[in-house]
Amino acid sequence: MDHLFLVVVSGIASGAVYGLLGLGLVIIYRATDVVNFALASMATLAVYVALTVVNRGLGVWAGLLAAVLVAVVVGLIVREVLLRPLGTGRLFAALVMTMGVSLVVEATVADVWGTEPRAFPPLVEGRVTIGSAALATQDLVVIGVSAVAMLAVGWLFTRTTLGSAMRAAAESATTAQIIGVPAQKVARIAWALGLGLAALASVLYVPKVGLAPMVLSAPLFRAFAGIFLGGLTSMHGAVIGGVTIGVLENLAASYVSANFRDTFVFVLTVLILLLRPQGLFGTRSFERV
């Protein structure tokens, strides 16, 4: 029982990271129709910069701040210089473009910092024991910080005028334009927000596994599975989907086979999608004549 509890809690902690990444992907996709494959690699770059900050003795929290700043700046540059010139409505060109960006960023990171894994300090050290189970405090911190970030995003989108405008632009870019919502400003805010969340997710995730150039690709794919499950356009779907994937993956690793955890998770996801193509929370869209 204690073991199951441990597995579920650490699954939620991993899932919270996937949820944050997925939330970042969905926010960017809804605002700009870009599936940002480079989200993870840009966040990785940001975490390497953060490690430099931490190693100067400025503390992990300063590192977190640096990571968010770097990710936001890099993300905005990539969007303005590379994606905006592609124009609107070019889903695949944009997806392929972000793939190209991820190749370049990953290779650059490997060139500059090397491929040897490095240690990144957790926000909080130590373990807590609950009954007979010992839990890394960091896991609880990850869950707490992620929950706060998600609630903040929820508050922004449902309780502020800016959030209303962002949801409006996501629902119908055409109508938003007629009303006069500044589309570029909304798009930039969405990119900044998405990259910030990704950087936060990375700083939370990396202490567990060590920092390496490709470290975030696995979480990115699980975040994709999560937004598959939740529906590409649903923000709470991305969070619930990500957490579900995290828990499922940990359960599969513990009780089914540690070797085939991703296989299990992805096959399950695809099966669910065959029954419900729009995802659990997504809206079905029809092709027009």
Binding site for another protein (CB under 8 A): 35, 82, 85-86, 91-93, 95-97, 99-104, 106-108, 110-111, 161-162, 164-165, 167-168, 171-172, 174-182, 217, 221, 224-225, 228, 232, 259-263, 266-267, 269-270, 273-274, 277, 285-289
Smallest distance from another protein to CB 286, Å: 5
Instruction: Select 113 or 120, whichever has its Cβ closest to another protein.
Output: 113
Q: What φ, ψ does residue 33 adopt, rounded to 5°? A: 60, 30
- The distance of closest approach from Cβ of residue 249 to another protein in the complex, given in angstroms and rounded to an integer, is 12
Q: How far is the CB of 105 from another protein (least distance, A)?
A: 8
Q: Smaller CB distance to another protein: residue 15 or 207?
A: 15
Spatial distance between the Cα atoms of 167 and 151, rounded to a whole number of angstroms = 16
Please, which residues bridge with residue 130 across strands?
Answer: 133
Cα end-to-end distance, the chain, whole Å: 56
- Compare residues 136 and 253 and give the one whose CB is closer to another protein: 253
Least spacing, CB of residue 145 vs another protein, in Å: 27
Amino acid identity, position 119: A
* Inter-CA distances, 241 with 9, 18, 234, Å: 16, 9, 10
Tokens 């910030």, located at residue: 196
Whole-number Å distance between alpha carbons of 202 and 158:
26
Backbone phi and psi for residue 277, each to the nearest 5 degrees, phi listed first: -60, -30
Angle value at C-alpha 35, between 65 and 72, nearest 5 degrees: 20
| Residue number with CB closer to another protein (106 or 139) | 106
Q: What is the dihedral of CA 154, 156, 161, 162, to 10 degrees?
A: -120
- Beta carbon of residue 60, minimum distance to another protein (angstroms, whole number): 30
Q: Minimum distance from CB of 189 to another protein (Å)?
A: 12
Q: Which is nearer to another protein, 85 or 126 (CB)?
A: 85
Asked whether the beta carbons of 241 and 227 are under 8 A apart, the reply is yes
Q: Which is nearer to another protein, 100 or 210 (by Cβ)?
A: 100
**Can you tell me which residue has the tokens 């890099």?**
74
